Amino acid sequence: MVSSDKDVVILAIESSCDETAAAVVRNGREVLSNIISSQIALHTLYGGVVPELASRKHIERINQVMEEALAEADMTLNEMDAIAVTYGPGLVGALLVGVAEAKAVAYAAKKPLIGVHHIEGHICANYIENKELSPPFLCLVVSGGHTHLVQVEDYGVYRIIGRTRDDAAGEAFDKVARAIGLGYPGGPKIEKISREGNADAIVFPKAKVAENPYDFSFSGVKSAVLNYINGCKMKNIPVIQADVAASFQKAVTDVLVEHAMMAVDEFQKDKFAIAGGVASNSVLRAGIERACRQKGIAFYCPSPVFCTDNAAMIGTAAYYEYLAGRRDGWDLNAVPNLKLGER
Ligand code: KG4
Ligand code: ZN
């Protein structure tokens, strides 16, 4: 495994969506602090993330969150080897707050600056609790903005095998939750109410993408849920929220598991990991774990707190970038549609 002779301690900042987060990470895998200030209460009032409000909340919270991260790690800014920050993809205004903060702090403290890709961070979250995990491995990244099947060829080297053609998996959870009246944030609410529902009550479609069997499409299942609800209303049949939620969750997680295992057969037969907010879903975790067990391959997943947005995962990704010699200049900018593997 790649490593450094001396300890490398990184202060990482994450502000790409609706969590203001900072963490201190030693040698990539040891999380000394992980502070997350969630904006859920604020955005719940509007039924989803309001980008401008997210930026405003980040600017209000970021200094305190960073101070807390240093205090909890019992370290000072001067003891940091580098300052890392998510610079894309994400909401541009939200990203800019983190990027400006990281640049200011790095400049003032004369520390190297490292910009991190948010999805790379999600993937690297797997290294935190699985000290033995090293590339190559396959990873299913399922978040609010992305659904990617990725071959992690080496630290910082990624090949995308499949991606969503329309909605991300988390986005589908959020839209369906809104449609059946559960509100924001959709994923956890669908998971919770599904425990009381029958996952076989309604058969929702599992879309296949003809050109690439590893690609995903979730807009069809979302539309099918909306049509089902409208149909019930027209026929005066009550909509059983728990059944709709459980059946929708099954349709989405079944497709994710099927594609994941197809990729295992073709690309990487020994190690499979999951990452991103939707990876905290217990039905998905259990489904992939069972499938991996049946194939006799190792399964990795971060604890739920490292699946949803956090800065520890950014500190982990930054460590490997640091070892590879990557440093950013004072011209580092937010890149809202940054592609994985692009610099
Ligand atoms: O990774 P993340 O925190 O932020 C992005 O990078 O997008 O993912 C957020 C997404 C949201 O769409 C949220 O509804 C979904 O992850 N999510 C879940 C669960 N927890 C969060 N989806 C399904 N089940 C969950 N338990
Ligand atoms: Zn994320």
Could you tell me which of 76, 12, 42 has the C-alpha nearest to residue 306? 12
Beta-carbon contacts of residue 20 (< 8 Å; ≥ 6 apart): 14, 36, 37, 39, 57, 58, 61, 62, 65, 97
Q: Is 187 in the pocket of ligand 1 (CB under 6 A)?
A: yes
Q: Is 191 in the pocket of ligand 1 (CB under 6 A)?
A: yes
- Do the domain assignments include residue 167? yes
With beta carbons less than 8 A apart as the criterion, state whether 89 and 337 touch: yes
| C-alpha dihedral (73, 77, 81, 86), degrees to nearest 10 | 80
DSSP 204-267: ------SS-TT-B--HHHHHHHHHHHHHHHHTTPPP-HHHHHHHHHHHHHHHHHHHHHHHHHHT
Task: Tell whether 139 and 68 lie within a shared domain.
Answer: no
Task: Tell whether 251 and 147 lie within a shared domain.
Answer: yes
Task: Tell whether 147 and 101 lie within a shared domain.
Answer: no
pLDDT tens, residue order, the chain (343 aa): 567 789 999 999 999 999 999 999 999 999 999 999 999 999 999 989 999 999 999 999 999 999 999 999 999 999 999 999 999 999 999 999 999 999 999 999 999 999 999 999 999 999 999 999 999 999 999 999 999 999 999 999 999 999 999 999 999 999 999 999 999 889 999 999 999 999 999 999 988 888 899 999 999 999 999 999 999 999 999 999 999 999 999 999 999 999 999 999 999 779 999 999 999 999 999 999 999 999 999 999 999 999 999 999 999 999 999 999 999 999 999 999 999 987 6
Q: Is 185 in the pocket of ligand 1 (CB under 6 A)?
A: yes
Q: What is the distance in A from the centroid of ligand 2 to the CA of 270? A: 26
Q: What is the distance in A from the centroid of ligand 2 to the CA of 49? A: 13
Task: Tell whether 298 and 317 lie within a shared domain.
Answer: no
Could you tell me which of 217, 257, 226 has the C-alpha nearest to residue 244? 226
Beta-carbon contacts of residue 237 (< 8 Å; ≥ 6 apart): 231
Task: Tell whether 281 and 192 lie within a shared domain.
Answer: yes
Could you tell me which of 322, 290, 333 has the C-alpha nearest to residue 2? 322
With beta carbons less than 8 A apart as the criterion, state whether 10 and 121 touch: no
Q: What is the distance in A from the centroid of ligand 2 to the CA of 230? A: 32
Instruction: State which residues form the domain around 69.
Output: 9-125+307-323
Task: Tell whether 150 and 243 lie within a shared domain.
Answer: yes
Q: Is 310 in the pocket of ligand 1 (CB under 6 A)?
A: no
User: Does the predicted model carry a pTM greater than 0.95?
Assistant: yes
Task: Tell whether 155 and 291 lie within a shared domain.
Answer: yes
Q: What is the distance in A from the centroid of ligand 1 to the CA of 286? A: 17
- Do the domain assignments include residue 340? no
Residues in the chain: 343
> Which ligand lies nearest the alpha carbon of 177?
1
- Do the domain assignments include residue 335? no
Task: Tell whether 144 and 288 lie within a shared domain.
Answer: yes
- Do the domain assignments include residue 22? yes
* CATH code of the domain in which 191 resides: 3.30.420.40
Nearest ligand 1 atom to alpha carbon 309: 3
Q: What is the distance in A from the centroid of ligand 1 to the CA of 218? A: 15
pLDDT of residue 342: 74
Domain count, the chain: 2
